[in-house]
Each structure stands twice: as structure tokens, then as C-alpha cells.
Amino acid sequence: MKVSFNASFNAKSVRAGALGAIMAGFVLAASPAHADRIEKHFAVQSKPKITVRNSTGRIQVKAWTKSEVMVAWTNASGKAVVETEVAGNRVEVATRMNEDGAPADDTKTDFEITVPVESELSVRTDSGNVTVESVHGDMTFDTVGANLQLTDVDGYMVAKTIDGSLVCTRCSGKLEANSISGNVQMISPTLDSVRVQTSSGNILFDGSFLSRGIYIMKNFSGTIEVHFSPSDSFDVNATSLKGDVINQATFKPDTHGNPRPASKWGQSLFGTMNEGHAKVELSSFSGTIKILKRD
Amino acid sequence: MKCEQFLEVLEQQDAVELQDPVRAHLQDCDACRALSADFEAIRTIALQLDVDVAAPAERVWISLRNQLEAEGLIHEPQIAPPGASINVTVRGWWANFQRPAFAGAFLGLLIAAAGTFSYFSNFSQTSVQTQLIPVQEASYVPSADSVFKEEVLTVGSNSIPGLQRQDTAVTDSIRRNLRIVDNFIAVCEKSVREQPDNQMAREYLYGAYQQKAELLATAMNHSMTGGLQ
């Protein structure tokens, strides 16, 4: 009897164990642990500084009214480790590989980060898109091929890419951007300081030149296109050494600065629209500069 | 006096009259004489340029060191056997190069060399070249403009150790953009040669040099660290 009981018990145990193992395997197969979304919350005070370093993957940053930073990530391979560090108002997030020599695909980690509206950001990434929405604070971006999309942001923004593009929509404050072959677009900006340089990329400025604003755009071979409205007030200095300057504006001679002699190299355009409150400098080596009337 | 002692004196002396033992060593040792001449040339050019040299970014410094090591121009410090004055010179040069102030001055000189090129339109016509030619002939130590021309302007992504192992998208991007910048440099140099008084062309050339240096630094960082660090 005892033996029988033990045998029965053992058989049940084996069946239960087997069932458990099968179920566990099913769960693992259906929802691999490494693909899980991991989320962390950090309480912060006003104006925290958030630093993100990620080799490849999408980085989305949004703002909310909470005094809290939420960082969520997904690494499909499970081979990347995300380290977070919090010290007071500083939050750092960094991705590193578990093993050396892992393929680039394994490092791909997507981030969703939500921060207080007033936050500082510092993002370094190689590839993958970076989007930032409605954050007000200073920001730096350093990427190789990652494209940057900034929307409704306000602050001092510094972006450096090798061939990643930058699209800045309704950005306010100051913008410095430097790229080799990336395009830079500023759409409906309210920026009072713009310093944009790209070698072979195109530059588009479609917005108003603010009073006292300084706008410097320079490239080597791409197109520089600025759109103006008749009410804009700015001085312009546009020169393309080997390319063309196409102008739809009516400028009067610049009465503010020193009279500039016409350059004997390339095509140049100097002049003032209305009172010349803003300063616009456009320069290209072999690209085309377009000063076009806004539709 | 030994070479090591001479190097210490050389580091400390600043256009001060050399003591007799130092002068005697200079007469006897070709390598130390060459090194001293190079230092003097650099100092002279720096004074002539009359520019404030900003300290380079750490990554630029690390990248340049690795590039020079990869090219075999420099090596890890080794104990020189007695009498191996040339080795001592190179070691001393490198040891000096590792000092932040000297490194800053040297890298500043590289950039200044680019600026000088853009100003005078042709290296062969510059005072930099004129002053460095005898130094080059007398020394195993690479001069500033030769390092700039040989190591920075001619280096490509293929010669960056370890870069190929990285994310192919990143590697391709760096390689593609190096080609773009190299092309710009070539176009700008042509323009400057054709139009020596074209200030704008010179500024673009100078900018292209800077871009190449930055791009190489980025590439080096990636090859060394396997990505972002």
C-alpha cells in the first residue's frame, strides 16, 4: 500500500513536473523574456538632466507634467544590458553588450523615455531615429547615422551628426547643428540663433527671422533654401563660390554695416529687407542658395 | 650627459641659454640635436602664428596616438639600451607628446598647419615648410606638417584598426563620409591653388581639414571601444 501510494505519488509528481516544464517552455516560446519591455521610474525634481547612450535603436523622448522620469526599453536579442544610474536630478541610461563581438543587430535597443517638460537632454547614438517632443531645456545630440526629429522643443539645441538628418519642427530658442552629409530642416521655427553647417547636405529654413536673430547657414555642395515673408526684417549676405544664388526678394542696399565690395569670386548678394533687424548669412562652396518667398 | 637627462633639460628650458654640458651633448648626439631642432621649430612657428591654441578634445588626442601607433611611427615606451640614442629620442618625443600641454601645442600646430596652408595656398611656399625642411632632413622625428599631410590627410577608414568589425552601417557611414570630405579637400585645394587670394576657398579648405580630423576621431573611437562608450 505504501509502495503503491509512493508509486502513485511519484507518477503524479512526474506528470506535474512534465506538464510544468511544457507550460514553461510554451510561455518562454510565446513571450521570450529578452523581448520584454522593461520600465523604470525615477522621481526627480525640476529640470533634471537625462543622458542616454545607445548604439543603435529608436529613442523616443516625450514630456509630461509629472516630476518623474520614465525609461522603458526593449532589446529583442536579450544580449544588451541597459544600465541606469540616478543621482539626485541626474538620470543616466546606457546600453552595453553582454558579450564582446556581438553582431550589431543584437545591440539594437529601443527606448521610450518620458521626462518633465523642463528637462535637459544629452543623447549619443550611432544609428536609429531619435525623436524628441515638447521638451523645454538644453539638448545635445551626437550621432553617426541617426536621424533627429525635434518637435515643439525649446532651448539651446546642439546637434552633431555624420550623415544623420535633422528635422526641427516648431523649435524655439537656439540651434547649432553640424553634419557632413545630413540634411537640416527647420520648419516653422521661432529660433533667434541658428548656426547650421553641413557639407553635402541640404539646408531648409522655412519660418520667420526674429528681430535681433542671427542665422548662419553654410554648406559645401548642397542646397540652402530660406523662405521669407514680406514682413520679415533682415540683412542678408549670401555667397556661393561656384554655385548660384537665386533670389525672389527685393533688397535695398545694406545701410547698417560697412559697405561690402562685390566679391570677385562666385555669386554674392548683400542687402536689407525692411529694417534689417535680423542677420542672415548664407554661404556655399558649390551649392545653390535660394531665397524664396513663402507661399 | 645622457639622452634622458638631456630630455629633462629640454622639457624645462624655455629659450634659456643652454649650459655647457647640454651643449656638449647636443654636439655629440645627432638624435637629440634633431629633437631639439624640432622643438625649436615648433616653438618658432607657434610664436609666428600668434594664435591661442585650444586644448584638443581627449578623443582627438587618443585617436591620433592610435593612428600613429598603427602606422608604426611610434611605439609603446621601451627601455632603451645604452647608446641607442635614436630610440631614446623617439621615446622622448612620444613621452613629450603625451604631455597635455605639448600635445595641445602639437595638435594646435597641425590645425595651424592647415590654416597656414589655406593662408599661403601652397605648402611649398610657406615659411612653415621652409623652416621645417632642414629639421626633416636631420631628424627621425616626424615634423608637424609631415604628420598632418601623411597621417591625417591621407588616412582612410581602411587603415583604422578594428573599424571593420563594427556595425556595418556605422562603418559604411564613416567610410562614405570620409570619401566626401576627402573629395572636398581635393576640390578646395585645387581652388586655393588656382585662386590664392580667394579667402572663402581657404576658409572652406580649413573647415574640410577640421571635419576630416573630427571624423577620424569618431572613427577611431568606434574602432577602439566597439561603439559608444
Predicted local confidence at residue B27, as pLDDT: 83
Contact B200 A241 (CB under 8 A): yes
B170–A144 C-beta distance less than 8 A? yes
Residue B135 confidence (pLDDT): 38
- Work out the angle between the directed axes of helices B58-70 and B100-120 (0-180°, nearest 10): 80
Query: Cα(B125)–Cα(B129) distance, rounded to whole angstroms?
Result: 7
Q: Which residues pair with A37 in a beta bridge?
A: A74
All structural domains of chain B with their residue ranges: 3-225
User: Do A126 and B170 touch, CB atoms closer than 8 A?
Assistant: yes
Give the count of Cβ contacts less than 8 A between chain A and B: 90
Nearest to A126 among B176, B200, B227 (CB): B227
Sheet containing A245-247: give its strands across.
A37-43, A68-75, A109-116, A59-64, A130-133, A148-151, A166-169, A184-187, A203-206, A224-228, A289-293, A245-247
Helices (H), B3-126: 3-12, 20-28, 30-49, 58-70, 85-98, 100-120
Residues of chain B found within 8 Å of residue A53, distances taken between Cβ atoms: 228-229
Share of chain A above pLDDT 70, in %: 85
* Grid cell locating B161: 584598426
Q: Which of A180, A199, A283 to substitute to test the interface with B, most B CBs within 10 Å?
A: A180
- Provide the ipTM: 0.80
Q: Give the number of other CB atoms < 10 A from CB of residue B83.
A: 10
Contacts of B170 in chain A (CB under 8 A): 104, 126-127, 144-145
Is the pLDDT score of B101 beyond 50? Answer: no
Q: What value does the mean pLDDT take over residues B143-158?
A: 53
**Interface probe with A: pick from B167, B174, B181, B214, most Cβ of A within 10 Å:** B167
Q: Phi and psi of A78, rounded to 5°? A: 75, 5
Distance CA A236, CA A213 (A): 12
3-state secondary structure labels for all residues of B124-143: HHCHHHHHHHHHHHHCCCCC
| Residue carrying the nine cell digits 501510494 | A5
In this structure, what DSSP letter does residue A128 have?
A: S
Average pLDDT, chain B: 62
Span of A57-66, A93-102, B154-163 with lowest mean pLDDT: B154-163
CB A115 within 8 A of CB A102: no
Of B168, B174, B204, the CB nearest to A162: B174
Residue B26 reports pLDDT greater than 60: yes
Chain B contacts in chain A segment 115-144 (CB below 8 A): 124-127, 144
The CA distance from B177 to the nearest CA of chain A, in Å, is 7
By C-alpha distance, the chain B residue nearest A127 is B170
3-state secondary structure of A185: strand
Q: Give the pLDDT band of residue B103 (cuts 50, 70, 90).
A: very low
pLDDT per residue as tens digits for the range A139-149: 999 999 999 99
Chain B CB within 8 Å of residue A158 CB: no
Q: Is the pLDDT of residue A281 over 90?
A: yes
Predicted model pTM: 0.67
Tell whether A174 lies on the interface with B, counting CB pairs under 8 A: no
* pLDDT at position B136: 38
